[in-house]
Structure formats: structure tokens, C-alpha cells
Chain A
Amino acid sequence: MSRGALSFRAVRKVYDPEGKAVLALDGVDLDIAPGEFCAIVGPSGCGKTTLLNAVAGFETLTAGAIQLDGRTIATPDASAAPGEDRIVVFQNGALFPWRSVMWNITCGPVMQGRMSEREAREHGLKLLARVGLKGCEDKYPNDLSGGQKRRVEIVRALINDPAVLLLDEPFRALDALTKSVMQEYLLELLVQFPKTVFFITHDLEEALFLGDKVVVFTSRPGRIKEVVSVDIPKPRSHEVLTSPRFLELKAALSAVVHTEAMRAFEAGEKEMAR
């Protein structure tokens, strides 16, 4: 597991819509080790998604650099370029509804010629079984429940064997229990297929439950407010949520997150008043 070291150096992003400069990210320095699960928490509009988009190659930087395994993947000079080594699982999902689950999963490796159709199918079946979706391979995405779709998407991302998995609030729309079971599935999958994970969420509990490291962002401009290592051993299951150490971490971080949420809220109201 030497693949997937992600580093951010003095990352800065200024948006310039209609000449009104908005500083979205400022001075972001962060190192994510190979195989590390890094959860990013912060108020709406703090630049979390911008940062994820920059890693994914959907967005250019204004200053600074992002490196993946020593290779620069984003600077102000080069234009943005997505790559198969960084795969995004979106908030709202992006399965092709007119194709079967199996096609959705295997299209990547087959089209790139990394696997034969048969290989891909075998591999896909194995992965689907792992996430409790045995027998769903020939269904259409719309025949699946919300939680099942999320799992298919994560499987689709994993089968491409990216160096980094980028997740943008993937469990946002799910109810509490389904969400917590999805989180357990994700952790289990990552034990079998270790990946560096860049995970964005609004939910502090989710961040602490999943993350090896939790990064709290300030409200706009997005800067790193605090980085906490979660020293709760993996594998974790939901019992962790009521453990003293977990509650201790949650208490410590919730004050920080709360302050930032408050600031973002007040700034938002002030901005609207103008």
C-alpha cells in the first residue's frame, strides 16, 4: 500500500464571478497518507467541495499545488484534468439509469481495456456480494433502493482501483439507520480494498466514525481550523458511537464545528442583508 499519498501545499482558490472576487480556499496545507481515511467537516460554502473538485481535476487552483504520490495533479499553471486514479462518488449519484447494475460497474475497466468483460463481471459479482447485493447485477438502478444505489456506486468506484476515492456526502439523503449501516459497509470494503479516502460531510458523528483523521474547515474563506486523529482502532462498528472515547472526541470537536457553523450562519445573514 504505497499508492495514494495526497498532499496539499498552500492551496488557494479565488472565484471571480462577474468581477467580484470570492476567496473560497486559503492556505490549505494537508497531508493524507496512503490508505488513510480523511474526513472533512465544515459549514456550507466553506470550500470543501471546491477542494474535492480540485483533487478530482474539475477545477483549477489560484495558487498552491496538490500532489498525488509525488506527481503534481493540480497547480495554477496546468489546466484541470481528471484522471482514472481519482474517482468521485457524487452527492446525488451518477449511475446510468438505462443500463444494468453490472454494466454500470464494469464499463470503466472494460472500456479502458484493463479487464476482459468476463474478468470484470466476475470481479463485479464478488464485490456486489460483499456489499449485500447478490442477485442485483441484472437489475436497473431505478429498481434499487437509495442505500443499494449508493453501494453500487462505491463498488463502481472501487473496481476502477483508484489511488484516491473522493466521496462528497454520499449518504446525505439516507435515514439514520440505513446511513449507519452504509457507513459500516464502507469501512468493511476498505479493509479488503484499502484506499486513500477523501470524504466530505456535514455530519460530525459520521466523520468521527469513519475517519482516521478529521479535518475541520473554517467558514468562508475555507482554512483548516483543526486536524484531529481519531485514535479508535478499526474495524469499528456502531457500538463505538456510545464509547467514552468517541463521546469525548465528539464533545471536543462539536464545540469547534459549532463555532464555525455559527460564524458561517451569521456571515450568511449579513451577506443577504446587503
Chain B
Amino acid sequence: MKSLATAASAPSATPAERGVPLSAGIRKYVHRHFDLVVGAATLIAFFLAWQFARPLGIPGLSAVEPPTKVVAASWDLLSSATFWTACYKSVLRILAGFALAQIIGVPIGLMMATNRMAFHTIFPVTEILRPIPPVAWIPVAIIFWPTREMSTVFIVFLGAFWIVLLNTIGGASTIDESYRRAALSLGSNRWHLFRYIVLPATMPSIVTGMVVGMGISWEMVVAAEMIASDTGLGYLLWQSFEINAGAQVIVCMLAIGIAGFVSSALIGRVGRLLTPWQGRR
């Protein structure tokens, strides 16, 4: 891909280097950072279209508040306590549900992968429950758990749990046989095998499960808060919609997006700490 791009643009760049300094400089920059330039241009075009959607009569987009209004609304919202309380609530729920999913999912996954009896006992249950989308659990969760708070955390937990479980099982059951054999030859007992082979060998899959699970957690918390809660970013988003505060809806959406992005980045950082041997990919 890269060599293609270079080959294609090489002839235009060569004469440019001998030409007028300023335009040559610009062309060289464009040549070097082709991807950046194109990306920025697309973004600018998008925001312009959004801003002037109404006068231009672009269908769909014109129904949405323009960026200038969104910026103004975000200023109001960001300086209100309501918004920050909502953020705080959502983050707490994410943390609780996500942590529970790890604490319960990883050991069960490891057990299922290393013990045939455990696998065949638990597997049928998981196969029945797993295809049910966590959102479909919301009514049952509301009935089952004493508080709305618990129901919301439960839905978040479910969202992350399956992916954590599957990744752990997948990772632990596909460990290269030669690692196990090498460890056995070198004199390992069962505890050594678990501590020094199975656990670290599964860690990259656990980390993958965490990264994906975190994404799903945010989806779940928003859905659960819309239906089963009276706090949190999801609730605020829905509330804004109901009171017809279009710009505020967009701000909430952006806030959730940013929160999801930040938490994924954090999990990625944690993952690298847990698997230092893996390099940065």
C-alpha cells in the first residue's frame, strides 16, 4: 500500500523539490503526510456540511442542531453539576460491572479450559444463556434485583462477562502443547504449570477480553440507564431527548463516546502492564 502510494506520487514530488520554495514546501508536506492531510480535509468538510446543513437543505443532517449550538450547549452542560454527577454514576456502574465480570469470568474460564468435568458441567448452561442479548435481560434484572442500581450493574456485568469468559476459555485451551511439555520435562508440578504456564499464556486473551468487554460495558450501561435508571449519562441523554434539547443530546453522545475511548485506552495500558513480553501490538 505504502510503496504504491510512493511510486504513484514520486514523479510529481521530484520536480516540486526544484521549484518555488513555498509551494515546494507545501507539496512536500502533503506528500509526506498524505494520510493526515486527507483525514483533516474530510473532517473539515464534514463539519462544514453539518453547520450549513439547514441553508443547504441536506436531508437528515438538517434535523440536527449545528455544531456552533452544540458547542454553546456543551459549555452550559459542562458547568452544571447534573452532568458530572451523571458521569460519575455511569463510571461507577461500569467499574463495578466490569470488575465483577473479570473476577467471576476469568476463574470460571480457566477452570473450564483446564478441567474437562468443569467444562462439561458449565458449558450447556452458558450455551443457552450466551446468545441472549444482555439488553433483553433488563426486565428480568429489574424484577430480580432489589434495587435499580443493582440491575444496571448486572446488565453491565452480563455484557462484559460473556466476552471475558469466551476469551479466557479460548486462550487457555489453545496453549501450545510444547510449552506444557517443556515445563513438565523441566520438573514442574501442577501448581507450577498453572502459575508459570497456563496463567501467563492465557493473559493476552484475557486482556483482549478486557478491551472488548470494556466497549460492551459502555453500550450496556447506556441502554440500562435509559430504561432502568434515573441517573447516569444514558439517562441524561434520554432525558435531553424527551425535553427536546437537541444540542444537549449531541453533547451527551459525544461525552459517552469520549468516555468509552478513554476507558479503552486505559484498559489497553493496563493490558500492556499485564503482558510486558508482548511488545506494543
Q: Touching in the complex, A and B, CB below 8 A? A: yes
Q: Is B48 an interface residue (CB 8 A)?
A: no
Shortest beta-carbon contacts, A-B, top 6: A79-B10, A79-B11, A79-B7, A80-B7, A58-B3, A60-B10
6 pairs, CB–CB < 8 Å, chain A vs chain B? A58-B3, A60-B10, A79-B7, A79-B10, A79-B11, A80-B7
Complex: how many Å from CA A19 to CA B7? 19
Residues of B within 8 A of A58 (CB): 3
Which residues from chain A sit less than 8 Å from chain B, CB to CB? 58, 60, 79-80
Segment 1-45 of B: residues with Cβ below 8 Å from A: 3, 7, 10-11
Closest-CB distance, B17 to chain A (whole angstroms): 13
Name the residue among B3, B7, B10, B11 with the largest chain A CB count within 10 angstroms: B7
Complex: how many Å from CA A60 to CA B7? 9
Which residues from chain B sit less than 8 Å from chain A, CB to CB? 3, 7, 10-11
Complex: how many Å from CA A60 to CA B10? 11
Residues of A within 8 A of B11 (CB): 79
Residues of A within 8 A of B7 (CB): 79-80
Complex: how many Å from CA A79 to CA B12? 11
Complex: how many Å from CA A84 to CA B58? 50
Residues of A within 8 A of B10 (CB): 60, 79
Closest to B8 in A: A79
Residues of A within 8 A of B3 (CB): 58
Complex: how many Å from CA A58 to CA B10? 13
Closest-CB distance, A88 to chain B (whole angstroms): 15
Closest to A59 in B: B3
Closest-CB distance, A81 to chain B (whole angstroms): 9
Complex: how many Å from CA A79 to CA B13? 11
Closest-CB distance, A90 to chain B (whole angstroms): 15
Closest-CB distance, B33 to chain A (whole angstroms): 14
Complex: how many Å from CA A80 to CA B11? 10
Complex: how many Å from CA A58 to CA B7? 9
Closest to A78 in B: B11
Residues of B within 8 A of A80 (CB): 7
Closest-CB distance, B103 to chain A (whole angstroms): 40
Complex: how many Å from CA A58 to CA B6? 11
Closest to B13 in A: A79
Complex: how many Å from CA A60 to CA B14? 13
Complex: how many Å from CA A80 to CA B10? 10
Residues of B within 8 A of A60 (CB): 10
Complex: how many Å from CA A79 to CA B7? 7
Closest to B3 in A: A58
Closest-CB distance, A51 to chain B (whole angstroms): 17
Complex: how many Å from CA A60 to CA B3? 11
Complex: how many Å from CA A173 to CA B7? 31
Complex: how many Å from CA A58 to CA B11? 15
Closest-CB distance, B125 to chain A (whole angstroms): 41
Complex: how many Å from CA A79 to CA B3? 12
Name the residue among A58, A60, A79 with the largest chain B CB count within 10 angstroms: A79
Closest-CB distance, A241 to chain B (whole angstroms): 36
Closest-CB distance, B204 to chain A (whole angstroms): 23
Complex: how many Å from CA A80 to CA B8? 10
Complex: how many Å from CA A87 to CA B3? 19
Complex: how many Å from CA A93 to CA B273? 40
Complex: how many Å from CA A58 to CA B3? 9
Closest-CB distance, B3 to chain A (whole angstroms): 8
Complex: how many Å from CA A60 to CA B13? 15
Closest to A79 in B: B10
Residues of B within 8 A of A79 (CB): 7, 10-11
Complex: how many Å from CA A79 to CA B6? 10
Closest-CB distance, A142 to chain B (whole angstroms): 26
Complex: how many Å from CA A37 to CA B131? 63
Closest to A77 in B: B14
Closest-CB distance, A134 to chain B (whole angstroms): 39
Complex: how many Å from CA A191 to CA B46? 64
Closest to A80 in B: B7
Complex: how many Å from CA A203 to CA B19? 49
Complex: how many Å from CA A136 to CA B58? 59
Closest-CB distance, A251 to chain B (whole angstroms): 38
Closest-CB distance, A224 to chain B (whole angstroms): 26
Closest-CB distance, B101 to chain A (whole angstroms): 40
Closest to B10 in A: A79
Closest-CB distance, B214 to chain A (whole angstroms): 32
Complex: how many Å from CA A67 to CA B7? 20
Closest-CB distance, B15 to chain A (whole angstroms): 11
Closest to B9 in A: A79
